[in-house]
A and B are shown apart, each in its own frame.
Chain A
Amino acid sequence: MSVDLSTQYLGLKLKNPLVVAACPLTGNIDGLRRVEDAGASAAVLPSLFEEQIAHEEAELAKVHEFGADSFAEALTYFPQPQDYRTGPEEYLELITEAKRALRIPIIGSLNGVSTGGWTRYARMIQDAGADALELNIYYVATGMDESAESVESQYLELVEAVKQSVSIPLAVKIGPYFSAMANMAKRLADAGADGLVLFNRFLQPDIDLESMEAMPRLVLSDPWELLLPLRWIAILYGRVDVSLALTRGIHDSQSLLKALAVGADVAMVASVIYRKGFSELGKMLSQMQDWLAEKEYSSVEEFKGCMSQENCPDPAAFARGNYMKALTSFTGKPI
């Protein structure tokens, strides 16, 4: 029995629920081709990083200005500035090229720091031909006087502003660190998000004990990381009117199935490709198909959300559940 693997994400019809997340693999046309060939149904490009653009602009300006106009023999130290592509040109070209070369939908991704940057670059990504846009918001609120409320409203203002400047579907990728995640999800949806991507993983500083220095470090995800987004998708499914994408810890067909079971429209992968190669995607898809067929599901849509909080036999499990259960089973064990 054949199973219909297609799914709807951000209003896009995807041939299956396996999407490659924003990562360096999707940052060039060769990588994107392999993503498509491996069977993924869509690709999210790496984030266009406004801070990086601004930083490079400033650095290049500094390079040209450092030591300049100080000494009669050396008024400058570099050739006249050319058209340096510190800006988004390269990124936009990649979108255009990918659209030409690939059949699967291409989702642009944007990480901004200023309202101006968010909206300007969002429009550029749309104009370059992206099928959808993923806003990647990650803000470390280090200010002692910065309240959760003010941080949240910044998020919402941003989403509103971007939504107003583009017409393509808009997904918002956020971290799990909200006191009231459900409420935040609802407000993001109200602000105009067409989808939520749970959850982003950013680099965290690590410590080098030899040099006694802090250094940024990005590690691949581990399977256990699945549990956090799994819970929140389960909770949100059916309660907010947005597409849901689960990213983090999808490493095999089992986790893929779990993501769909709690209600994700798509599951996004990256680390697994780094760990096991592109071929793993095909394996995950066929194993998923076999499992669904064996359990006599006719389509992903049918399966989707069956284990969400709404539909699962024990809804309380997602609210507090696992801890209590673990404790019970532990104490219940004979010593």
Chain B
Amino acid sequence: MKVRLYRPFDAAAFVAVLPKTVRAIAVMDRTKEPGALGEPLFLDVVAALAEHWATHSGNGHMPKVIGGRYGLSSKEFTPAMAAAVFAELRKADPKPRFTVGIKDDVTNLSLDYDEDFSTEADDVTRAVFFGLGADGTVSANRNSAKIVGENTPYYAQAYFVYDSRKAGSVTVSHVRFGPRPIKGSYLIHKANFVACHQFHFLERIDVLSLAVPGATFLLNSPYGPDEVWDHLPAEVQEEIIGKKLRFYVVDAYRVARDTGMGVRINTIMQTCFFKLANVIPPDQAIAEIKDAIKQTYGKKGGGKVVEQNFAAVDGALAALHEVKVPDRVTSKLHRVPPVPEDAPQFVKNVLGMMIANRGDELPVSALPNDGTFPTGTTKYEKRSIAQDIPIWDPNLCIQCGLCSLTCPHASIRMKVYDPGLLTGAPEGFKSADSKGKEFPGWKFTLQVFPDDCTGCGLCVDACPAKDKVKPKHKAIDMEPKLPHLERERRHLDFFLSIPDVDRRQVKHDTIKGSQLLLPLFEFSGACAGCGETPYVKLVTQLFGDRMLIANATGCSSIYGGNLPCTPYTTNAEGRGPAWSNSLFEDAAEFGLGFRLAIDLQIQYCHELLRRLAGQLGDELVGRLINNKQESEAEIQEQRRLVAELNQRLATIDSPDAKSLLASSDYLIRKSVWSFGGDGWAYDIGFGGLDHVIALGRDVNILVLDTEVYSNTGGQASKSTPRGAVAKFAAGGKPVRKKDLGLIAMSYGNVFVGQISLGANPVHALRTIIAAESYRGPSLLIALSHCIGWGIDMAQGMSVQKDAVACGYWLLYSFDPRNEERPLQLASKKPTGSFKDFALKEARWAMLARSKPAEAERLLALGQRDIDERWTLYEQLANMTRAGVKAAVGGDGHGQSE
């Protein structure tokens, strides 16, 4: 029975449609109310029936009613599961409450179901496509469904499963075509067509597990029909033979290259699909595909992009070949395990299953009951998604650290070390003499993490060291990965065995020094070339071993905490950022909560220390309470003292000693951070952010300002600049960007820094350090380039440079501790025009292309915004407290706080 009108719940109407013969009812709720007797629909049905049977007792026994949960968080709900519910109802003693779709081995509420049970009809084409986000597979399949649905009597259904990572994301498309309406909304488990659009998927994903015997398998392969077989993993060969698959290959990347399509292989694969699947005559399909291309790209007839796509479609069929399948498995290659054998148990048994697309098989007992996960798990997931990786030339390198600083994925790092440690280095391991005075006689190595690099190229863009003879050669160059892969892996293993330098020996406020500190944020799923993650990584290098992060929902919470693997990690002593995400809107308050708890616990610890001073000794207690913990050395000293304290506490048998033991960690200075994007800081969380900075507590707020809602796909925020095109500002944002920093400065006691790693990394670094050291609220607004700008992401840092040069983005810090002149501008007087800067980015260029006059007007206003802001800030920066005193006469009312 389908419920249409849930509320008001018409009990009489409900009972009226129930056949008199019914003996058992399962009410399915797609929600969970922990602690309730049952979920809402179930309770309503029970009430309706109970009332009815109470007043119509002549109807015999009331049907048995059981309540089940299904499909939480889009969990699959299939005919097999529905059948299992019916089977349960047939039992004399069915579970009164159940779940279906999972294996619950904790409270045993789940129903077993037969995975082979299928209601799929033979005349329905069921096709599954494995592709990359970047190759256009999804858009092609969406398009195919439209072609069939709108140009034939056939019915079509398409559904897409996306990745939790943004860089190198894998997409799976499930497409059905059939002669009757397609009712079942569930993924295809029995495919008669499987396409793998990326050859390298074969060694990681079991793409053929969904194929039924006799299905067609289409593979995008750089190897032709005669040579492809030997390049397949044995498991794939086995499935092809065992299931008697029809096997086709197409070298779609070659066709794409030849027709100028780059990495967009979608129309090529789509053409091959229609040729093989025979849903509609291939000629008609091709005509429709071309028509769709025209609609997408060729608004005004013709155009090069249309021509290229047409050529790709035409080239596809010639490149499509059937493979004669040998009758036995010959391959020495094997599918690689999702995580290495030596990974921790939880990573292997739980996260590894998720990585292998087998998370659905995990039982309830495998998962944490309170949402707590270990950190530092991305290092086990070697996705190896880069085509090209940076290769280091030690002779050319000036060891500035900019590449490492810039890398969004912490996949290029540097170490300095005693030359003695080079003993046992693998052949060819690269090193240079450490430059500079700090580490005389030591060696320096820059190492790429070849399987973690996304190939974004930001590091090469940042590298200032060019070869004199061949300036196109820099100290790091992007080169095709495969020839370097094995060697770089060996080098990386050795590099990792070299100990990190003592944090006390390094100048944290130099680029090079900061980059010798271990990043505690690595290999996230952020977009290749992400402009946010370099800041996040830098902050973890500086404070990660004592920081707590309250992360607003958004890009930073997704690359920060999306399963399976997460990037925040620990150092050799097991310390690292403790991270949590509350909501989108409350990261500032959530972070404030951390601070309140910590301060209270420090008070508690001090209270207990004083109570226990007799047993612990006044000296230890005094040192623990009085250590200011301002330098790295003092912090490390405090850790040592706390370890000593814990040892002594363990020998004292008293409730206070026990309590202090549970809380003594709080004696080590904590760095509390709230992270979030501009959507959070300028919009939904602004009220909270404003309140938290006004409270004066020691919290640090990092706004990763991409000037647009990045995670949800480019909607305008109040940070979006004038004239920029964004969703909900399709005609160009009409008003100027909100000046969050100026608002924060108005309190006077808030440290405010506006920074750009691309434009002035030293200023960014020092401002971050100053903000953290301030024992009050700090707000850092960090310019973060983003896909939503419409730029070449490999040049994001250069774009930031241009943004600062033309005055679009001001660099400054406002430090309330500076009694004389709190506001310091780090930007120089703007040079060049805003318009020249803006039109290099699609967000403005789009408007210039669609509404030239309006663009002209808004860009002129944008220039005025810049000029006015510069004038204002220059005045503010020149306003000294002495000057104010002089102006109001004597020392007037202006007492410092």
A interface residues (Cβ-Cβ under 8 A, vs B)? 53-54, 56-61, 63, 65-87, 89-90, 114, 116, 120, 212-213
Q: Are B713 and A82 in contact (CB under 8 A)?
A: no
| Given A79-B727, A85-B850, A86-B849, residue A71 in contact with residue B133 (CB < 8 A) | yes
| Given A74-B712, A90-B852, residue A67 in contact with residue B133 (CB < 8 A) | yes
| Given A70-B162, A71-B162, residue A56 in contact with residue B849 (CB < 8 A) | yes
Q: Are B304 and A54 in contact (CB under 8 A)?
A: yes
Q: Are A72 and B162 in contact (CB under 8 A)?
A: yes
Q: Are A69 and B133 in contact (CB under 8 A)?
A: yes
Chain A CB within 8 A of B169 CB? yes
Q: Are A54 and B162 in contact (CB under 8 A)?
A: no
Name 22 interchain pairs, CB-CB below 8 A, sorted by A. A54-B305, A56-B849, A57-B305, A58-B305, A66-B134, A66-B787, A67-B134, A70-B132, A70-B163, A70-B169, A73-B558, A76-B714, A77-B710, A78-B726, A78-B843, A79-B725, A79-B730, A80-B730, A82-B730, A85-B849, A114-B304, A120-B302
Complex contacts, B305 vs chain A, CB 8 Å: 54, 57-58, 61
Chain A CB within 8 A of B790 CB? yes
Chain A CB within 8 A of B176 CB? no
- In the complex formed, the residue of B with least CB distance to A207 is B471
| Given A69-B171, A85-B849, residue A78 in contact with residue B842 (CB < 8 A) | yes
Q: Are B790 and A63 in contact (CB under 8 A)?
A: yes
Select which of B134, B712, B790, B852 is within 8 A of A70 by beta carbon.
B134
Smallest Cβ distance from A318 to chain B, in angstroms? 43
Which of chain B's residues 132-189 have a Cβ closer than 8 Å to chain A? Answer: 132-134, 136-139, 160, 162-163, 166, 169, 171
B interface residues (Cβ-Cβ under 8 A, vs A)? 132-134, 136-139, 160, 162-163, 166, 169, 171, 264, 297, 299-300, 302-305, 307, 466, 471, 527, 558, 710-714, 725-727, 730, 787-788, 790, 793, 842-843, 846, 849-850, 852
Smallest Cβ distance from A40 to chain B, in angstroms? 26
| Given A59-B842, A67-B166, A79-B730, residue A87 in contact with residue B300 (CB < 8 A) | yes
Complex contacts, A213 vs chain B, CB 8 Å: 471
Complex contacts, A114 vs chain B, CB 8 Å: 304
Complex contacts, B852 vs chain A, CB 8 Å: 85, 90
Complex contacts, A78 vs chain B, CB 8 Å: 714, 725-727, 788, 790, 842-843, 846
Complex contacts, A87 vs chain B, CB 8 Å: 300, 303
Q: Are A60 and B303 in contact (CB under 8 A)?
A: no
- Tell me, in angstroms, the Cα distance from A74 to B786 when the chains sit together: 13
Complex contacts, B297 vs chain A, CB 8 Å: 57, 61
- Tell me, in angstroms, the Cα distance from A57 to B725 when the chains sit together: 17
- Tell me, in angstroms, the Cα distance from A59 to B710 when the chains sit together: 20
Q: Are A77 and B730 in contact (CB under 8 A)?
A: no
Complex contacts, B166 vs chain A, CB 8 Å: 67, 70-71
Smallest Cβ distance from A115 to chain B, in angstroms? 12
- Tell me, in angstroms, the Cα distance from A74 to B137 when the chains sit together: 16
Complex contacts, B725 vs chain A, CB 8 Å: 78-79
Smallest Cβ distance from B585 to chain A, in angstroms? 17
- Tell me, in angstroms, the Cα distance from A79 to B849 when the chains sit together: 14
- In the complex formed, the residue of A with least CB distance to B299 is A83
For the complex of A and B, list the 10 residue pairs with the smallest distance between their C-beta atoms, beginning with the closest.
A70-B133, A74-B713, A54-B304, A69-B138, A212-B471, A79-B730, A77-B714, A72-B162, A84-B849, A63-B842
- Tell me, in angstroms, the Cα distance from A3 to B43 when the chains sit together: 104
- In the complex formed, the residue of B with least CB distance to A75 is B713
Q: Are B264 and A65 in contact (CB under 8 A)?
A: yes
Q: Which of B137, B138, B850 has the most chain A CB within a 10 Å cutoff?
A: B850
Complex contacts, B169 vs chain A, CB 8 Å: 70-71
Select which of A56, A59, A67, A75 is within 8 A of B787 by beta carbon.
A67
- Tell me, in angstroms, the Cα distance from A79 to B169 when the chains sit together: 22
Q: Which of B138, B727, B849 has the most chain A CB within a 10 Å cutoff?
A: B849
Q: Are A71 and B163 in contact (CB under 8 A)?
A: yes
- Tell me, in angstroms, the Cα distance from A282 to B58 when the chains sit together: 111
Q: Are B713 and A76 in contact (CB under 8 A)?
A: yes
- In the complex formed, the residue of B with least CB distance to A88 is B300
| Given A68-B133, A72-B162, residue A77 in contact with residue B850 (CB < 8 A) | no
Q: Are B133 and A77 in contact (CB under 8 A)?
A: no
Complex contacts, A80 vs chain B, CB 8 Å: 730
Q: Are A60 and B849 in contact (CB under 8 A)?
A: yes
Smallest Cβ distance from B197 to chain A, in angstroms? 12
Complex contacts, B527 vs chain A, CB 8 Å: 67
- In the complex formed, the residue of B with least CB distance to A77 is B714
- Tell me, in angstroms, the Cα distance from A333 to B351 when the chains sit together: 93
- In the complex formed, the residue of A with least CB distance to B170 is A70
Complex contacts, B711 vs chain A, CB 8 Å: 73-74
Select which of B302, B307, B714, B846 is within 8 A of A74 by beta carbon.
B714
- In the complex formed, the residue of A with least CB distance to B309 is A61
Q: Which of B134, B297, B710, B846 has the most chain A CB within a 10 Å cutoff?
A: B846
- Tell me, in angstroms, the Cα distance from A3 to B297 when the chains sit together: 56
Complex contacts, B714 vs chain A, CB 8 Å: 74, 76-79
- Tell me, in angstroms, the Cα distance from A59 to B262 when the chains sit together: 12
- Tell me, in angstroms, the Cα distance from A72 to B725 when the chains sit together: 22
- In the complex formed, the residue of A with least CB distance to B467 is A212
Smallest Cβ distance from B671 to chain A, in angstroms? 30
Complex contacts, A71 vs chain B, CB 8 Å: 133, 162-163, 166, 169
